[in-house]
Amino acid sequence: MAATLACAYFYDSNAAGMVSRKQVETMKTVRKSGLVKHQKFCRSASLTRNRSNDEKGLVEPRTGSPTEALCNFVDSGCMGDALYLFEKINHFDSYIWNVMIRGLTNNGFFTEAIQFYGRMEYEGVRADNFTYPFVIKACTGLLSLTEGQKVHGKLVKIGLDLDVYVCNSLTVMYAKVQCIEFAERIFGEMTAQGMKPDRFSMISALGACSLERCLQSGKEIHCHVLRCGFQVDIMVQTSLMDMYSKCSRMDYAERLFDRMFPKNVVA
């Protein structure tokens, strides 16, 4: 059925560990640590500093709530200020931890993001389906299959392994670390459960098929691309062409190329 749908498309012209106490203390003095040297750990004008109290840290934000200030620091990439403020405010709410883990991950501090997740569990704050996609993304950034499998095991244990956002992140992670069987299995479970894969999950799954030269699975993913409306996405189209060419179906790849608009350099 998958092969039939994929073929029909070509002939129809209309057709993203536990942290030690010593590490926790390091977080508290992050302005003096090596983290501050990273270009993304910038200073922000939103917080004022009392010269006589330099060693005591930050003064309260001039306007807005501490949570709002924390979000502003994270969104502007000022993770040094965000980490410092985090230590000064009540952080029993998982939302605060999620903001920090998201900020660390999106700014490339993958190890620190995983450490924050470990500390979150250690302090008894329950992670949720908003936490794990960024933790998995951090594991992906480190290309750490070991850490990724630990997180996946936890997800199975707490029953979040079939969350759509978590599954998309797991598919990407396993594909990036070239654990192709797991990537294909999770992608298959998503579609069997009626979940909609995102463009990154599609691209990763197609990449896995390219590596394994698995034409049948690639055609099945092509069907999902059509059903989900990603056939006009330039990166998905490029991934499809790569998959078909790697699977020795240059005729399919050429037809996709002829229909692609606009064409990119990769294609």
- For residue 260, name the pLDDT band (cuts at 50, 70, 90): confident
State residue 264's pLDDT score.
62
- Whether 115 is in a domain gets the answer yes
Total number of domains constituting the chain:
1
10 in a structural domain = no
φ, ψ (nearest 5 deg) of residue 143: 50, 40
Name the strand (E) or helix (H) holding 180. helix 180-192
Rounded to two decimals, the pTM is 0.73
> Long-range contact list for 152-161, CB < 8 A, 24+ apart?
160/128, 160/129, 160/132
In a domain, 87, yes or no: yes
Q: Which H or E run includes 222?
A: helix 215-228
> In the chain, helix, strand, coil percent, each to 5?
65, 0, 35
Q: Which tens digit of pLDDT belongs to each residue from 108-159?
A: 999 999 999 999 999 999 999 999 999 999 999 999 999 999 999 999 999 9
Specify if 165 maps to a domain. Answer: no
- Measured CA to CA, the distance from residue 135 to residue 151 in angstroms comes to 8
Domain encompassing residue 75: 18-121
**30 has a pLDDT exceeding 80:** no
CB 167 within 8 A of CB 196: no
Task: For residue 254, tell me if it sits in a domain.
Answer: no
- Domain membership of residue 64 (yes or no) is yes
For 47, half-sphere exposure in the C-beta direction (CA atoms, 13 angstrom radius) is: 25
Query: In 3-state terms, what secondary structure has residue 46?
Result: coil
Look at residue 97 and tell me if it is in a domain: yes
pLDDT, mean over the chain: 80
Single-letter residue type at 262: P
Residue 16: per-residue pLDDT:
34
CA distance 183 to 169: 10
Q: Is residue 112 part of a domain?
A: yes
| Chain segment 161-193, per-residue pLDDT in tens | 999 999 999 999 999 998 988 998 999 999 899
